[in-house]
């Protein structure tokens, strides 16, 4: 995360949603996904200890998130561009651009294809984008080769297919990702970042760069280009609440909650899949090592036998 020392004050009354607001979408998602969160939290905390000792496992883990953020951001971008184009305003700054400030009533009545975009415009901040940062980090771990561009593992491929097909039918599910994935970085993501910053052995040596420079280059996923990260998060959450509360139907909110559960479960499945993959790879390597060791012993025994035979013939 950003190592900012600046703390921008926000009056309490401007902070939304309130913790006890049971109707707020973010609170509903957190409440309904608590079990799913706890399951993944435990799994990732354990796997992280292993990933921090082996850069190959770390970069595999980063890829799970790369394919998620990359495809979500393609869709978010398309949405925002479509709205800007339809209004003939392609140079708009968002979020909260006056050019696209819609009331919940207006959003409900807007052209069906532009509804989600009109909500996104109210809260999504381009400083949130993570795919490019993840890509930069992965390039450090892959020695500048972008061999990770397409997902290799089944669960990750399944996710990409799911995202596009669900989006076709229910574009509002994007709003689930805007809470679950992005806010994860301000909570668990902070803990992960502080662990990875201490694991300097994980990072490759790059000629002309100090270790600290390499660490900074390879951890941009966790850093936001903002003055005060906490302020940024609070503003994001407040705008999310303001723009979703009345503009979405109850059915859409239920779809978003379901999609949120799916996101946690998918990450869990992706992590488990990597575990199986690495265990299999380790076993195969171990078996191969065992096989080579057996061959070596046989070879030594063979040499001893020949030696004995030769000695027997000579004497």
Whichever of 31 and 299 has its CB closer to ligand HEM, that residue is 31
Whichever of 130 and 172 has its CB closer to ligand HEM, that residue is 130
- Separation of alpha carbons 231 and 237, rounded Å: 10
- Closest approach of ligand HEM to the CB of residue 61, in Å: 10
- Closest approach of ligand HEM to the CB of residue 161, in Å: 19
Would you count residue 265 as binding ligand HEM (CB under 6 A)?
Answer: no
Would you count residue 41 as binding ligand HEM (CB under 6 A)?
Answer: yes
Q: Is 172 annotated as a binding residue?
A: no
Written as six digits, the tokens of 265 are: 């479960």
User: Site residues for ligand HEM, window 10-29 (CB under 6 A)?
Assistant: 26
- Separation of alpha carbons 215 and 208, rounded Å: 14
- Closest approach of ligand HEM to the CB of residue 83, in Å: 26
Contact present, 130 and 70 (Cβ < 8 Å): no
| Near ligand HEM by CB under 6 A: residue from 30, 82, 220, 238 | 30
Q: Establish how many alpha carbons lie within 13 A of residue 309's alpha carbon, considering only the half-sphere containing its beta carbon.
A: 6
Q: Which residue is nearest to ligand HEM (CB)?
A: 188
Q: Is the dihedral of CA 288, 292, 297, 302 positive or negative?
A: positive
Contact present, 272 and 279 (Cβ < 8 Å): no
- Closest approach of ligand HEM to the CB of residue 260, in Å: 8
- Closest approach of ligand HEM to the CB of residue 89, in Å: 31
Contact present, 143 and 204 (Cβ < 8 Å): yes
User: Site residues for ligand HEM, window 83-142 (CB under 6 A)?
Assistant: none
Written as six digits, the tokens of 272 are: 């488990």
| Near ligand HEM by CB under 6 A: residue from 10, 16, 44, 52 | 44
Contact present, 267 and 64 (Cβ < 8 Å): yes
User: Site residues for ligand HEM, window 138-157 (CB under 6 A)?
Assistant: none
Residue with tokens 């850093």: 223
Contact present, 111 and 213 (Cβ < 8 Å): no
* Options 96-104, 176-184, 203-211, 241-249: segment touching ligand HEM (CB under 6 A): 176-184
The secondary structure of 206-222 as a DSSP string is -TT--HHHHHHHT-GGG
| Near ligand HEM by CB under 6 A: residue from 45, 86, 165, 283 | 45
User: Site residues for ligand HEM, window 177-196 (CB under 6 A)?
Assistant: 179-181, 183-184, 187-188, 191-192
- Closest approach of ligand HEM to the CB of residue 180, in Å: 5
Can you state the percent helix, strand and coil of the chain, rounding each to 5?
75, 0, 25
Whichever of 45 and 200 has its CB closer to ligand HEM, that residue is 45
N-terminal to C-terminal alpha carbon distance within the chain? 78
Give CA angle at 128 (251, 55), nearest 5°.
110
The annotation places the binding site at 37
The annotation places the binding site for heme b at 37
Give the footprint of ligand HEM on this chain (CB under 6 A): 26, 30, 37, 40-41, 44-45, 179-181, 183-184, 187-188, 191-192, 264, 267
């Amino acid at each position: 995360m950003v190592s900012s020392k600046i703390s921008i004050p926000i009056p309490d009354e401007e902070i939304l949603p309130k913790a006890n607001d049971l109707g707020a979408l973010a609170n509903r998602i957190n409440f309904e996904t608590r079990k799913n969160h706890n399951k993944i939290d435990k799994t990732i905390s354990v796997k992280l200890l292993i990933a921090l000792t082996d850069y190959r496992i770390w970069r595999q883990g980063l890829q799970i998130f790369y394919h998620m953020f990359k495809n979500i951001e393609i869709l978010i971008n398309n949405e925002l561009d479509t709205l800007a184009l339809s209004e003939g305003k392609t140079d708009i700054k968002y979020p909260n651009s006056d050019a696209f400030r819609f009331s919940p009533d207006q959003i409900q009545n807007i052209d069906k294809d532009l509804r989600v975009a009109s909500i996104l415009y109210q809260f999504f901040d381009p400083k949130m984008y993570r795919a490019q940062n993840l890509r930069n980090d992965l390039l450090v771990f892959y020695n500048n080769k972008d061999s990770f561009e397409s997902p290799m593992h089944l669960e990750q491929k399944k996710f990409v297919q799911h995202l596009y097909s669900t989006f076709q039918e229910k574009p509002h599910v994007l709003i689930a990702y805007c809470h679950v994935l992005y806010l994860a970085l301000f909570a668990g993501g902070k803990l992960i970042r502080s662990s990875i910053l201490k694991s300097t052995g994980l990072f490759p040596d790059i000629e002309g760069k100090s270790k600290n420079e390499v660490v900074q280059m390879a951890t941009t996923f966790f850093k936001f280009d903002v003055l005060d990260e906490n302020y940024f998060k609070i503003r994001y959450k407040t705008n999310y609440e303001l723009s979703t509360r009345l503009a979405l139907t109850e059915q859409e909110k239920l779809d978003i909650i379901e999609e949120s559960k799916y996101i946690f479960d998918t990450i869990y499945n992706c992590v488990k899949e990597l575990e199986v993959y690495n265990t299999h790879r380790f076993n195969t390597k171990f078996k191969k090592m065992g096989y080579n060791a057996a061959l070596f012993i046989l070879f030594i025994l063979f040499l001893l036998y020949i030696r004995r035979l030769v000695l027997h013939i000579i004497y």
